[in-house]
Chain A
Amino acid sequence: MKKSIRHQLLLWLLIPLLSLALFSTAVSYFLGLALARSIYDKQLSNSADSVIARIKAKDNKLTVDLPPAALAILRHNNRDEFYFQVVAPDGRIISGDKLLPPPPAVLVQSGETSEPSFRTILVKGNRELRVVTLSVPTPDLFVDHVIVQAGETRNARTELAGQISISIFLAQLALIICGAVATWIGVGRGLRPLKKIEQVVESRSPGDLSLFQTDEPVEVTSLINALNRLLKQLDDDLQLQKRFTSNAAHQLRTPLAVVTTYCDLARKMEKDPEVQGVLAELESGISRMSKLVNRLLVLARSEPGVAASRNYANVDVSAIAASVTAAHVPQAIRNKIEFEFLSAAEPAMVYGDQAGLEELISNLVENSILYLHPGGKIIVKISVVNGAPVLSVEDDGPGIPEDERGKVYERFYRIAGTEQPGTGLGLAIVKEIAIAHRATCEITNGSTGKGTCITIQFPSTLQ
């Protein structure tokens, strides 16, 4: 598949944006964890304080009076487990859960009141616990201080961080989707001038080399300018080729005219029948050469590039075919060939070059006359199918073998075994002119199964 600007832009927009979104989601997760820690650590510390308040001295023994109802209050949520421990200065556990590890030795011995210290530890069952350790002076008891530890699992904390990061990710995703849609629409609109240029180029006739107008955005203007420069250069080259063709014509034709004239003069002056025969052969050779030169020049002029500089107009193929056929009737009568002309009920309009179309039809008709034997018949038919003119020239002559049909358009190609003095350029000219008119060319058998039918299908003028 070809690259699309739209897809490319979208791709280059989405890949970095999505990566950024993932990165920021990860960052927000860690920030959320920090936030959760500061909130829940405070609560944990409060819970530890509450445990201290419940320490009682009874019979020279320290106890913690913590009924289940009070314990339920100390755990802030029902997703997390809560553990506590009261440790005497000598390291003995006075009360609480054995699950918690012993407090750091520094705190146990110093006995000084200290800020709560937090740590995250791994306990049995591979669970992470957040533990706060406090050293509290107890003036009214028989020991001067106790160490209290409170711990809880981290479910609530990770949940909060997860919620924060997911909501941030969803918000970013929504933003990216909106951005992608906006980009898709925006690029589509931005590329509209290109679409317009495409339509303008598409709708041009092959010959049209006029420059494009530039009322488009700046980015497209440079493209149009480049196109225009190319068109200009093409036009210049064509003019050059046209001049060359015309000069070559002059250079070839005058000497040919000289030879023709002298050959004719010689025939008039010479009475010897043997020399007359030689001169007649000479004359027929010259006449073939003249025809060849003419056809070559027609071909040079028919090439799409050169045909480009011609004047295109709406013309009626039916009228052109009628006059071209009529012009060939006297020759056909001399060769004892019958003509039939079938015209369409409606005009067969083609946007094209009158002289080129005359040449095309003339070549088809001449070809038929050349290869037909006396008594043959040529049918020139014009029809209009769905607004598209169709021209066909059919004869009941020798026909073109199926495997030769692709080759007869080649220049100077002659079917092996043909004796008629054709130039080998007639159908090449037909093809070139047809292409210049966006018409297709097809060779089939004649309607009776023999002979040749060449059909030129022009594009529809209804659009």
Chain B
Amino acid sequence: MAYILLAEDDQSLSDGLTRTLQHSGHTIDSAMNGVDAEFAASYNAYDLLILDIGLPQRDGLTVLANLRRDGKSLPILILTARDTPEDRIHGLDVGANDYLCKPFNVGELEARIRALLRKEKWANQTEIRCGSLTHNVRANRFLVGDQPLELSPREYLVLELLLQRRGRVVFKNDLIEHLSSLDRDLSSNALDIVIHRLRKKLEASGCVIQTVKGLGFIIE
């Protein structure tokens, strides 16, 4: 699957994570201190770096900053016990792609690793799926099964944004803003009508748009 560098100074956690990730099919190199981690990341083409902040010899944030300064663009996931918002913001500002706090759920860690690896390939991503609904990004069209879905321009834009942020609430205001290229100041009621029509057209696809009253809509 992927070639991952794990920089974690706790021997036991490092071993456990290595074995778990190997079990998922990844190839793991591990570094026990900051200097080794930076050296390894500089000379090997890893797909991903999992970086602890509290590393001996050279702390994780320094390693992160040095790698970014040297033009390394590999995705970096910070794994740390520091969870204050300031720590997160600082870590992301310095150049991390994601931030996960200990103690973490292993399933969540693996999901984030998958997401980071996927992001790398986003440029090539052409399809988003939900039930039997498919969004072909290149061709600018939606399919239910094999059948093309006829959508008005408003419906198209709304469905596009909802699918892009699948699993998250999309605020009404964001949708209205997204539609501003078509309509300036679209009313909230007009948006509700668009959603209503979309729901009817999606009935067969198994893809459900749920309303969150007062906030917006979500496709799960």
Contacts and interface: CB of A to CB of B under 8 A. Distances in A.
Given A254-B10, A333-B220, A343-B214, A261 B17 contact: yes
Tier of interface size on chain A = 35 or more
Contacts of B23: 265, 268-269
A326 B104 CA distance: 22
Interface stretch (B35-43, B64-72, B80-88, B186-194): B80-88
Nearest to A382: B214
Contacts of B213: 338-341
A55 to B, nearest CB: 119
B51 to A, nearest CB: 14
A265 B110 CA distance: 12
A342 B214 contact: yes
A329 B169 CA distance: 7
Interface string B89-123: 00000000000011111110000000000000000
Interface string B200-220: 000000000010111110101
A261 B13 contact: yes
Contacts of B169: 325-327, 329
Given A330-B167, A355-B85, A257 B104 contact: yes
Contacts, number: 98
Interface of B: 10, 12-13, 16-17, 19-20, 23, 54, 81-85, 101-107, 167-169, 171, 210, 212-216, 218, 220
A253 B103 contact: yes
B170 to A, nearest CB: 9
A286 B20 CA distance: 17
B106 A261 contact: yes
A322 B215 contact: yes
Nearest to B11: A258
B13 A258 contact: yes
Contacts of A268: 20, 23
A173 to B, nearest CB: 69
Contact of B168 (A293, A326, A339, A340): A326
A260 B23 CA distance: 15
Given A326-B168, A339-B213, A262 B83 contact: no
Nearest to A262: B16
A65 interface: no
A253 B16 contact: no
A297 interface: yes
A329 B220 CA distance: 10
Contacts of B85: 354-355
24 contacts: A254-B10, A254-B81, A256-B103, A257-B13, A257-B103, A258-B13, A260-B103, A260-B105, A261-B106, A264-B107, A265-B19, A265-B106, A268-B20, A268-B23, A294-B83, A301-B84, A329-B212, A329-B215, A333-B220, A338-B213, A339-B214, A340-B214, A354-B85, A380-B214
